[in-house]
Amino acid sequence: MPRHLLLLSLLPLAACSYGTAPSGVYPSYFLSSVDGKSLPVTFESDGSVLLAGSLDFGNITRARAEGQVTGLVGYRQTVRHPDNSITASHLELNYQIQDGMLHIDLCPPLAQCIVSEELVGPISDSHSELVLTLYLGGTPRTVYRYFPSLPD
């Protein structure tokens, strides 16, 4: 078999083997702290406790223009409520990387949100933590620190 045909036959396997995280970010991150407090942390007025959170950039990304990348990120949170019930949520959210800044839109695709809510922070390199600030209606609120997750 000619070498170029062999390489072409292996491309689909290579594409399926690894996530397609954009350059500058690691494929997945785990939440380590909220406003400088390690997890678990009380994060809602009803006493709900944030137990865990993560970001997964292993989904398809698209280059839009020079220096701009868009795609979907998996956003997970596990919360213990005052009645001791636990909920785990998973959303696929839109993100954009432009000029070294990551923007994650917390309004799910196709939803109509009244107030803009997004996580924003700089990307220094793919092995560094992400320090993302929650902006609610353009006003900075909470700071979330995510560390790169090691592969299983």
User: Looking at 16-25, 79-88, 129-138, which range is the least confident one?
Assistant: 16-25
Q: What is the mean pLDDT of residues 48-60?
A: 88
- The pLDDT score that the predictor gives to residue 29 is 94
Residues 1-13: pLDDT tens digits?
A: 443 333 333 333 3
Asked whether residue 97 is assigned to any structural domain, the reply reads: yes
> For residue 68, what pLDDT band results from cuts at 50, 70 and 90?
confident
Task: Give the span between the Cα atoms of 40 and 136, in whole angstroms.
Answer: 22
Q: What is the mean pLDDT of residues 79-107?
A: 94
Q: Are 24 and 17 in contact (CB under 8 A)?
A: no
Burial code (b: 16+ CB inside 10 Å, e: under 16) for 86-114 equals: eeeeeeebbbbbeeeebbbbbbeeeeeee
Asked whether residue 16 is assigned to any structural domain, the reply reads: no
47 vs 126, higher pLDDT: 47
Asked whether residue 2 is assigned to any structural domain, the reply reads: no
Residue with token string 């019930």: 85
Number of H-type helices and E-type strands within the chain: 1, 11
Predicted confidence (pLDDT) at residue 130 exceeds the cutoff of 50: yes
67 vs 135, higher pLDDT: 135
> For residue 22, what pLDDT band results from cuts at 50, 70 and 90?
low
Q: What is the mean pLDDT of residues 46-56?
A: 95
| DSSP reduced 3-state for 69 | strand
Residue 26 identity (one-letter amino acid): Y
2 vs 46, higher pLDDT: 46
| DSSP reduced 3-state for 97 | strand
Asked whether residue 10 is assigned to any structural domain, the reply reads: no
Predicted confidence (pLDDT) at residue 109 exceeds the cutoff of 90: no
Q: How many domains does the chain have?
A: 1
CATH number of domain containing 43: 2.40.128
Asked whether residue 7 is assigned to any structural domain, the reply reads: no
Asked whether residue 104 is assigned to any structural domain, the reply reads: yes
39: Cβ contacts below 8 Å, ≥ 6 apart: 31, 32, 33, 50, 51, 52, 53
- Structural domain boundaries, residue 139: 21-148
User: Considering the entire predicted model, what is its pTM?
Assistant: 0.79
Mean pLDDT of the chain: 82
- The pLDDT score that the predictor gives to residue 111 is 84
Asked whether residue 35 is assigned to any structural domain, the reply reads: yes
Tokens of 52: 């865990």
